[in-house]
A and B are shown apart, each in its own frame.
Chain A
Amino acid sequence: MFVRNAEPWMDGSSLGEHLEETGVSRRSFLEFCTEMAVILGLGSAAAPSVAKALESQARPTVIWLEMQECTGCVESTLRTEAPTIGNLLLDVVSLDYSETLMAAAGHAAEKAKADAMAKNKGKYVLVVTGSVPTKEDGMYCTVAGRTIRQHLEEAAEGAAAIIALGACAHWGSVQAARPNPTGAVGVRDIIKNKPIVNIAGCPPIGDVVTATVVHFLTFGRLPAVDREGRPLFAYGNRIHDQCSRRAHFDAGQYVESFDDEGARKGWCLYEMGCKGPATYSPCPIVQWNQRTNWPIGAGHPCIGCTEPYFWDTMAPFYNRLPNVSGFGVEHRIDTIGASLAVGAAAGVAAHATMTVMHQIRRRKAHQTPDSGSTSGEERNNG
């Protein structure tokens, strides 16, 4: 996947010169630029501008901090579309510090990071994956003898912008799910004074990460975001509104179990608890692993991993609605509501019967002494 025998991108040479040296053709570079322009919503006509901005780019410094996480975001990013240039870009920009990708280890790695940060203070991009544990003074995640919180605060100090990559980095993801034993929080809860872009997902799609980096290199700033801090070019629409199974939703054709007729025919996964109607993500369009497929395409309902605190808010993953606490695990709101409605009907029926019986008794009682006349009391019931 990586460009073999790639010369390191030296300070002082532009990306264009560097690509020429490594033997990447002009054609494949322009293809990459066109694709990025399209993903960013700029349109293919903007490709020459993107190419121009990128090729004159001096080598950017990127520090990639891996905190309390599973490394899935790095894995996903490596499987980006247009692997040659996309990975080259990430390879070169993540050169300075990335625990998973860099060759250096131990003190040498820490020194490389400290040097890169000191040299490019105020200019480098900080990519963060994983959450920050806050309980027990952050002892749940330490690197090189210091807590990850100290690393983050130090690295954020001189960063031009922060890319919070993945659900952990913004909301804490599974570590922050109830009861959150490590007190995990996202970067935004620690760092308040830097621009942060939220590349949501567990993990996010590699192309979205690459496109965000390209946007930053082309325009010198982070892309426009929605109210959750996610780039609008990627997270601007609901999965439900872009879904390839949407026609079956509108038609009223639903999978009711994973092995039924509907599942074989590719019907809508709404009744299987699909969170597509509550989830903003480019999955249906950009897809995964070089456009191989995506969860709903493979017959699995969306679990809403790009949404805030999705482990808590989207659970249970295979039910339409959240469970109602206090009524046991398997009680759904329809069971409770229908029971109450039936109870109300029974109550009404019982009360009506009582009323009728009471009226009959009263009329009999009134008719006994003086039949036919309406007593003042009865009329007084208005």
Chain B
Amino acid sequence: MTPATESRPRREIPWFEARVPRVHGDFTWVYLWGAPLRVMHWVSVFSIITLVVTGLYIGQPYFMAGGEASSHFLMGRFRFAHFLAAAIIVMAAIVRVYWLFVGNVYERWPALFPVTPRNLRNVWLVLKSYFTMRLEKQPHFVGHNPLAQLAYTTIYFVTAAMIVTGFSMYGQAAPGGFFDTIFGWLPPLVGGLQRVRLIHHTLLWVYPMFVLIHVYLAIRADSVEHAGGVSSILTGGRFVSSHDTFEDFNIHDQPSEPWKSKHH
């Protein structure tokens, strides 16, 4: 009996990646999103749902507890869930910021700002095809189209603002403490604690709108545009046809082990 270490095939694919055949006839599997980015995405999904539901309760308690106060801890639990989910999404944000420096070309800093003239023209073309239903006129991208990318960049900035305003309010309970010292500059800047509260509460509504449109367009991209949006955030990659041309990708430049490459 040969030792197990020798019988096992040498791992070419990192352990966390889907083991799918890379080439199917005309189709090649392209690796897009690193595992940290995908983990961040799904952790954020659960955090954002928790934060929106508990945040709306904290802003305007929509049901109450009867009887003695000593036998209930309703708002306390909602706030605990809110702070826990907030802590988790902050960790996800830290991972995302790290990945802006070490991720691949679709995940790095420059990818957040598709503001070249060509990209801006593509924003317009994508918008136009969304409104006219002319799929054949829509430019193709293996990564995010620039319109989608701008939406994600916006969500990153909104989340950053939520984190700053959130910690600013969190720090109020302990003046001179850690969070108050780091985020205490905000209330005087925007005109008081109530203004901070208003900003935090207003930006909350960005998330339900974003989630609705994002989920819809992702499913649409998967089913109608055949862009593999939903599967790539699960498996990390998607199949591309060698017959297609992409604005952000050339099949002939594709390295044999894409996950080892930082720059395509």
Which residues of A are at the interface with B, using a C-beta cutoff of 8 A? 226-227, 236-238, 240-241, 247-254, 262, 270-271, 275, 277-278, 280, 304, 307-309, 313-314, 320-322, 324, 333-334, 336-338, 340-341, 344-345, 347-348, 351-352, 354-355, 358-359, 376-377, 379-382
Contacts and interface: CB of A to CB of B under 8 A. Distances in A.
A241 B69 contact: no
A333 B194 contact: no
Contacts of B228: 382
A316 B224 CA distance: 49
Nearest to A237: B175
Contacts of A253: 64-66, 69, 72
Which 6 pairs of residues, A with B, have the shortest CB-CB distance? Answer: A252-B74, A337-B205, A313-B192, A251-B72, A278-B193, A251-B69
Given A321-B197, A381-B138, A381-B224, A337 B212 contact: no
A378 B24 CA distance: 19
30 contacts: A241-B173, A250-B76, A252-B61, A252-B63, A252-B73, A252-B74, A252-B78, A262-B64, A270-B61, A271-B61, A278-B194, A308-B188, A309-B192, A313-B191, A320-B59, A320-B60, A333-B205, A337-B202, A341-B205, A341-B208, A344-B209, A344-B213, A352-B216, A354-B133, A380-B243, A381-B224, A382-B225, A382-B240, A382-B241, A382-B244
A185 B207 CA distance: 41
Given A227-B184, A320-B60, A337 B204 contact: yes
A348 B217 CA distance: 9
Contacts of A345: 212
B199 to A, nearest CB: 10
B124 to A, nearest CB: 18
Contacts, number: 148
Contacts of A379: 226, 241, 243-244
Interface of B: 56, 59-61, 63-66, 69-76, 78, 130, 133, 135-136, 138, 140, 172-173, 175-176, 184, 188, 191-195, 197-198, 201-202, 204-205, 208-209, 212-213, 216, 220, 224-228, 240-241, 243-244
A347 B204 CA distance: 19
Contact of B220 (A237, A334, A341, A355): A355
A140 to B, nearest CB: 25
Contacts of B70: 247, 251
Given A320-B59, A382-B227, A275 B194 contact: yes
Contact of B172 (A238, A308, A338, A354): A238
Contacts of B244: 379-380, 382
Contacts of A336: 205
A262 B65 CA distance: 11
A270 B59 CA distance: 10
B243 A278 contact: no
Nearest to A341: B208
Nearest to A247: B69
A265 to B, nearest CB: 9
A351 B69 contact: no
A251 B71 CA distance: 8
Contacts of B192: 278, 307-309, 313-314
Contacts of A271: 60-61
Nearest to B136: A377
Given A252-B61, A252-B75, A340-B205, A322 B194 contact: yes
Contacts of B133: 354-355, 358
Contact of A314 (B61, B194, B205): B194
B195 A333 contact: no
A252 B175 contact: no
Nearest to A352: B216
A278 B191 CA distance: 12
Contacts of A376: 243
A249 B77 CA distance: 11
B193 A307 contact: yes
Nearest to B205: A337
A236 B172 CA distance: 10
Contacts of A237: 175
Given A270-B61, A278-B194, A379-B226, A248 B173 contact: no
B172 A277 contact: yes
B205 A338 contact: yes
A322 B195 contact: yes
A287 to B, nearest CB: 21
Nearest to B225: A381
A341 B198 contact: no
Contacts of A249: 75
B222 to A, nearest CB: 11
A380 B136 contact: yes
Contacts of A348: 212-213, 216
Contacts of B64: 252-254, 262
B73 A278 contact: no
A378 to B, nearest CB: 9
Contacts of A252: 61, 63-65, 72-75, 78
